[in-house]
Amino acid sequence: MKLANLLKGIRLPRPPAAAPPVDLPAPEKVYLPLRQHRGAVAEAKVEPGEKVALGQVVGASEAFESATVQATVSGVVEAIVDTVDPAGQKVPAVVIKNDGADAWAEDSTLGESLTDPAGVKGTRPSHLLRRLREAGLVRAQVEGRPLHVDLSPPMAPQSYLYMTGIPVVRPVDTLIISAVDADPPVCPNRSCLGQSIEELSVGVAALARISGAKRVILALPSGSDTASIAAMAGQYEWEVASVSQTAYPFATDNFLVQSLTGREVSTPYGEPKDVGVALQPMISAMDVGKVLMSGRPVIDRIFSVAGEVKNPQTFRVRLGTPISEVLAAAGGGPSRPGKIIVGGPMMGLAIFDPTTPVTRETEGVFVQSAAKVVAYADHPCIHCGRCVAACPVNLIPSELGKLCEFRMYEEAADMDLMNCIECGCCAYVCPARRPMVHFLRHGKTEVLAGRME
Amino acid sequence: MNENLLTVSTSPHILGRMSVRSMYLEYIIALAPALLVGFYYFGFPALITVLLTVASAAVSDFVASKIQKKPTTLGSLHILCMGLMLGMILPPGAPWWLPVIGGALTVFLGISIFGGIGAYPMNPVLVAWVALAISWPEAMNSFLEPQALGSGEEWNEAETLLMQLKGDVSTLEMVEMGVLWLGKVPGYIGSTSTWALLAGGVYLIIRRIIPWQIPIGALLGAIVMALIATYTDPRILELGYEEFAANMNVVWFHLGAGGLMIAAFFLGPEPVSSPVTPWGTFLFGVGIGLMTIIVRTWGGLVDGAFYGVLLMNAANPLLDRIRPRVIGKVVSGA
């Protein structure tokens, strides 16, 4: 780890040890939103009353930035209703009533199964990519993109890179598989460490083959038992790097790329692809491996429940299960619930509807009781400079916060407001408890709105 | 209607444990060692002076908040901390009205007139101190000879080492460095004991309440400037130092004497009136160190540390323009 990372950012408390995921029985009903990612809403391919089998396509779209939706229980389609996604937007969803048979559809196979990395190397990248697209995999983060979009080369030169001297289309030469959870208490990756090694090896090999990366780096959390993964990495000549779990936000994508390869990803529009790095979380690689090995779509998701529930735990949940049912399986939340946060406590989104279904873009929830919900204060900035010391991208958050508070958005944009990554370190350390991230997000929205006019 | 309504707000959903109150509480804790040493050597007169300053500041803040029709901010301990710091840079046994006026000036002239915490451009403690030093120079320049607590002797008037240095540089050779750094010398109540101030300052740096750049910069600036002074000042040259260690002794004297330490660790890095950018804070510190020694060696005043802080406070907006490079920012043409 770099010295600068020790001085910048914040130290989070060391998260408790993570147990391997527990299978959660399929629920009575699943709600399958027809958009589980950034991009276009899929069209429903089933009618209410129709019988569906496991893995049968219930939603698909012609659009490139869209992922196929498959049935995750067998049963009868009850209705197509509106639900909310984690970001709070309305999205149509197919409701399927479970008949408990778990019968796979006959045409659910996605080509013959590949059981080892050597087989993957003998397959054309475009074939692999097509199979991932048919399986409808999505990068596990709110507003995440479908995996096939994430792995494809850019369709057109990126306008924000014209001026920088970076070659506009740079071939991907490095693949980073991150087993570190950026927001530690929610730990889907960490709890899967050492699980299903074969799937992981196939998945990583496939991702490397698709992206064209010659160098593969596995970023593993420091202080965890990673012997089995290290052994696997040694077998296939992949590199292993140890990354701290408590130095926040240095496990997020751009910082991982910077500390492992020394390349700097531009903000706010840049992505690791621009500097020749493909980055995927370990659970994505496992899903890829599962799809290729079984030849079937993935119908469940590793879903981590942390915070104030009786038994914080990681589950393997059928997609479409309402989050409230997962919380009940974790022993139930606090008697007076305060917040249910999709993602971790530092960057997650608080949802208003506990029946929001588990989708491909969710990786876990953090639960807070009403007593623990933090109160921001209407206190003036005291100019202490703690946020400046903490800001991992070297902004002056105190100044930006004041400018945004007093509606001087363009002035704030001149002081690099748009380069803020919304990690929340400034708000975390602020002694006056100012809602820093709120100010900065509001300012960014206003700047973009102003520029649209 | 669901009775278990959920809260929705922006991230982050957890906050660190520090509040304004706890920050100033830790500031007061860090001041405590130096203050206790001051009470030990200057006894009852020092205690009275400090208590009067704090009480006057508290009452003034209460009055100021009533005039402005705002809720009082005494609970945040900010005013108490400021009062305490002013008390620490007053001479022990000052006439009773001096700390009372000082406390009121800190609040009215230093803080409230600019709009309270977070808004004032200059260190309010030093604003009040300078007002006192200009208005009542005699009262501000009468010091007591230190004596151990409970010795029960009469208090004798004394001159500080820096005042003696102004008149006669051979003072440098009569000072025992151990005694000086322990604080058993005449001086302001809380600013004599270098070791105690150092301990409190290091605590503040470790707790990330003050940036490390300011004290380090101030000490570096002072060391460099003091070395330059020993090699160029004709009066010191007459003493005929030949070895580097002898010249370095002058540096240790300057670090230990006067208000440099309290300015470097407490008055300069005072959160509101200090700069925030990494290089800005460092230059701020260097400026304090340089000013201190320049005034002591060539200036008309006895000590320059407090004026150095005020001068650098005025340069704050400039210093805050020295920004670090933003990571990820696309630089055109690079």
State pLDDT tens for residues B113-145. Answer: 998 888 899 999 999 999 999 999 999 988 888
Task: State the average pLDDT over residues B38-47.
Answer: 90
Residue B30 lies in a domain: yes
Domain count, chain B: 2
Task: State the average pLDDT over residues B308-318.
Answer: 93
Bridge partners of residue A60, in order along the sequence: A43
Is there a single domain that holds both residue B100 and residue B202? no
Q: Write b or e for each residue in B275-298: b if 16 or more Cβ atoms lie within 10 A of its Cβ, otherwise e.
A: bbbbebbbbbbbbbbbbbbbbbbe
What's the rounded Cα separation, in Å, for the pair A267 and A418? 8
What are the pLDDT digits (tens) for A331-368?
888 888 889 999 889 999 999 888 899 999 898 999 99
- Given B140, B173, B198, the domain boundary residue is B140
Closest to A312 in 3D by CA, of A15, A3, A6: A15
Contact between B13 and A374 using a beta-carbon 8 Å cutoff: yes
What's the rounded Cα separation, in Å, for the pair A381 and A218? 41
What's the rounded Cα separation, in Å, for the pair B79 and A451? 44
Which candidate in B2, B9, B13, B17 is best for mutational testing of the A interface (most A CBs within 10 A)?
B13
Residue A197 lies in a domain: yes
- Interface predicted TM-score (ipTM): 0.89
Domain count, chain A: 2
Contact between B13 and A345 using a beta-carbon 8 Å cutoff: yes
Q: Which chain B residues contact residue A88 at CB under 8 A?
A: 8
Q: Coil, strand or helix: which one is A433? A: coil
Task: State the average pLDDT over residues B192-208.
Answer: 93
Residue B4 lies in a domain: no
DSSP run (H or E) holding A351: strand A349-351
Q: Coil, strand or helix: which one is A390? A: helix
Q: Coil, strand or helix: which one is A337? A: strand
Closest to A149 in 3D by CA, of A60, A211, A223: A211
DSSP run (H or E) holding A75: strand A75-84
Is there a single domain that holds both residue B28 and residue B136? yes
DSSP run (H or E) holding A6: helix A3-7
Bridge partners of residue A364, in order along the sequence: A304
DSSP run (H or E) holding A51: strand A51-52
* Displacement of CA A364 from its chain's centroid (Å): 9
Q: Which pLDDT band, with edges at 50, 70 and 90, does B87 fall under?
A: very high
Q: Coil, strand or helix: which one is A166? A: coil
Domain assignment of residue A145, given as a range: 3-14+135-153+170-294
**Burial (CB count within 10 angstroms: exposed 0-12, middle 13-18, buried 19+), residue A76:** middle
Domain assignment of residue B92, given as a range: 20-140
pLDDT of residue B86: 95
- Given A251, A278, A294, the domain boundary residue is A294
How distant is the Cα of B121 from the closest Cα of chain A, in angstroms?
10
Residue B243 lies in a domain: yes
What are the pLDDT digits (tens) for A372-423?
899 898 899 999 999 999 999 999 999 999 999 999 999 999 998 999 999 9
CA-to-CA dists, residue B8 to A2, A34, A443, angstroms: 36, 24, 19
End-to-end alpha carbon distance in chain A: 44
Contacts across the A-B interface (CB distance below 8 Å)? 162
pLDDT of residue B333: 42
- pLDDT, averaged across chain A: 87
Q: Which chain B residues contact residue A380 at CB under 8 A?
A: 116-119
Q: Which chain B residues contact residue A349 at CB under 8 A?
A: 11
Contact between A380 and B275 using a beta-carbon 8 Å cutoff: no
Residue B152 lies in a domain: no
DSSP label at residue A158: -
**% chain A with pLDDT above 90:** 35
Paired sense of beta strands A90-98 and A75-84, if any: antiparallel
Nearest CB neighbour to A352, from listed B6, B10, B15? B6
* All residues at 6 or more sequence positions from B214 whose CB lies less than 8 Å from its CB, including other chains: B264, B268, B269, B274, B281, B282, B284, B285, B288
**% chain B with pLDDT above 90:** 55
Say which CATH number the domain at A179 has.
3.40.50.11540
To which residue do tokens 């005039």 refer? B67
Is there a single domain that holds both residue A287 and residue A390? no
What's the rounded Cα separation, in Å, for the pair A294 and A198? 12
How distant is the Cα of A430 from the closest Cα of chain B, in angstroms?
7
Is there a single domain that holds both residue B199 and residue B119? no
Q: Which chain B residues contact residue A435 at CB under 8 A?
A: 10
Is there a single domain that holds both residue B167 and residue B315? yes
Q: Residue B332 pLDDT > 70, yes or no?
A: no
Contact between A384 and B271 using a beta-carbon 8 Å cutoff: yes
- One-letter-per-residue 3-state SS of chain B: CCCCCCCCCCCCCCCCCCCHHHHHHHHHHHHHHHHHHHHHHHHHHHHHHHHHHHHHHHHHHHHHHHHHCCCCCHHHCHHHHHHHHHHHCCCCCCCCHHHHHHHHHHHHHHHHHHCCCCCCCCCHHHHHHHHHHHHCHHHHCCEECCCCCCCCCCCCEECCHHHHHHHCCCHHHHCCHHHHHHCCCCCCCCCCCHHHHHHHHHHHHHCCCCCCHHHHHHHHHHHHHHHHHHHHCHHHHHCCCCCHHHHHHHHHHHHHCCCHHHHHHHHCCCCCCCCCCHHHHHHHHHHHHHHHHHHHHHCCCCCCHHHHHHHHHHCHHHHCCCCCCCCCCCCCCC
Q: Which chain A residues contact residue B13 at CB under 8 A?
A: 339, 341, 345-346, 348, 350, 366, 368, 373-374
How distant is the Cα of A48 from the closest Cα of chain B, in angstroms?
28
pTM given for the model: 0.90
Contact between A429 and B327 using a beta-carbon 8 Å cutoff: no
Is there a single domain that holds both residue B168 and residue B132? no
Nearest CB neighbour to B271, from listed A346, A348, A385? A385
pLDDT of residue A397: 94
What are the pLDDT digits (tens) for A160-184?
665 555 556 678 889 999 999 888 8
Residue type, A55: G
To which residue do tokens 């990820």 refer? B328
Nearest CB neighbour to A341, from listed B13, B19, B118? B13
Is there a single domain that holds both residue A147 and residue A266? yes
Is there a single domain that holds both residue B308 and residue B191? yes
Q: Residue B247 pLDDT > 90, yes or no?
A: no
What are the pLDDT digits (tens) for A56-113?
899 988 888 888 899 999 999 999 999 988 888 899 999 999 988 888 887 666 677 7
* Displacement of CA B93 from its chain's centroid (Å): 20
Highest average pLDDT, of A112-121, B136-145, B217-226, comes from B217-226
Q: Which chain B residues contact residue A84 at CB under 8 A?
A: none
CA-to-CA dists, residue A289 to A108, A126, B149, B175, angstroms: 17, 16, 77, 77
How distant is the Cα of B47 from the closest Cα of chain A, in angstroms?
30
Residue B155 lies in a domain: no
Closest to A70 in 3D by CA, of A97, A40, A44, A98: A44
Is there a single domain that holds both residue A248 and residue A139? yes
Contact between B330 and A270 using a beta-carbon 8 Å cutoff: yes
pLDDT of residue A160: 65
pLDDT of residue A158: 66
Residue A289 lies in a domain: yes
Closest to A435 in 3D by CA, of A443, A445, A423, A426: A426
Task: Count CA atoms within 13 Å of residue A146 on its CB side.
Answer: 27
How distant is the Cα of A425 from the closest Cα of chain B, in angstroms?
8
Task: State the average pLDDT over residues A143-157.
Answer: 79
Task: Count CA atoms within 13 Å of residue A33 on its CB side.
Answer: 28
What's the rounded Cα separation, in Å, for the pair A423 and A427? 9
Q: Which pLDDT band, with edges at 50, 70 and 90, does B334 fall under?
A: very low
- Given A294, A326, A354, the domain boundary residue is A294
Contact between B12 and A10 using a beta-carbon 8 Å cutoff: no
Task: State the average pLDDT over residues B108-116.
Answer: 91
Q: Which chain A residues contact residue B9 at CB under 8 A?
A: 339, 350, 376, 438
Q: Residue B1 pLDDT > 50, yes or no?
A: no
Contact between A419 and B281 using a beta-carbon 8 Å cutoff: no
Chain B residue at shortest CA distance from A348: B11
Residue B3 lies in a domain: no
* Displacement of CA A262 from its chain's centroid (Å): 23
Contact between A383 and B325 using a beta-carbon 8 Å cutoff: no
Is there a single domain that holds both residue B122 and residue B45? yes
Contact between B6 and A337 using a beta-carbon 8 Å cutoff: yes
Q: Which token pair is B221? A: 């600036």
What's the rounded Cα separation, in Å, for the pair A98 and A330? 21
Residue A431 lies in a domain: yes
Task: State the average pLDDT over residues B261-282.
Answer: 93
Is there a single domain that holds both residue A141 and residue A250? yes
Contact between B13 and A398 using a beta-carbon 8 Å cutoff: no
Chain A residue at shortest CA distance from B2: A353
What's the rounded Cα separation, in Å, for the pair B196 and A52? 77
Closest to A417 in 3D by CA, of A445, A390, A381, A389: A445
DSSP run (H or E) holding A326: helix A323-329
Is there a single domain that holds both residue B86 and residue B120? yes
Closest to A311 in 3D by CA, of A335, A286, A330: A330
Is there a single domain that holds both residue B169 and residue B88? no
Residue A361 lies in a domain: no
Chain B residue at shortest CA distance from A394: B326
What are the pLDDT digits (tens) for A1-60?
466 667 788 888 887 778 889 999 899 999 999 988 888 888 888 999 999 998 889 998
Contact between B328 and A161 using a beta-carbon 8 Å cutoff: no
Is there a single domain that holds both residue B311 and residue B173? yes
Contact A209, A175 (CB under 8 A): no
Number of Cβ within a 10 Å radius of residue A170: 16
pLDDT of residue A314: 92
pLDDT of residue B216: 96
pLDDT of residue A451: 86
Contact between B333 and A339 using a beta-carbon 8 Å cutoff: no
Q: Residue B196 pLDDT > 90, yes or no?
A: yes
What's the rounded Cα separation, in Å, for the pair B321 and B231? 35
Contact between B8 and A351 using a beta-carbon 8 Å cutoff: yes
pLDDT of residue B2: 55
- Given B140, B171, B199, the domain boundary residue is B140
- Given A267, A294, A321, the domain boundary residue is A294
Contact between A346 and B320 using a beta-carbon 8 Å cutoff: no
pLDDT of residue A226: 82
Q: Which chain B residues contact residue A254 at CB under 8 A?
A: 328
Which candidate in B2, B8, B14 is best for mutational testing of the A interface (most A CBs within 10 A)?
B14
Q: Which token pair is A407? A: 């509606």
**% chain A with pLDDT above 70:** 94
Residue B13 lies in a domain: no
Is there a single domain that holds both residue A143 and residue A261? yes
Contact between A394 and B16 using a beta-carbon 8 Å cutoff: no
Is there a single domain that holds both residue A144 and residue A287? yes
What's the rounded Cα separation, in Å, for the pair A123 and A112? 11
How distant is the Cα of B28 from the closest Cα of chain A, in angstroms?
16
Residue A216 lies in a domain: yes
- pLDDT, averaged across chain B: 89
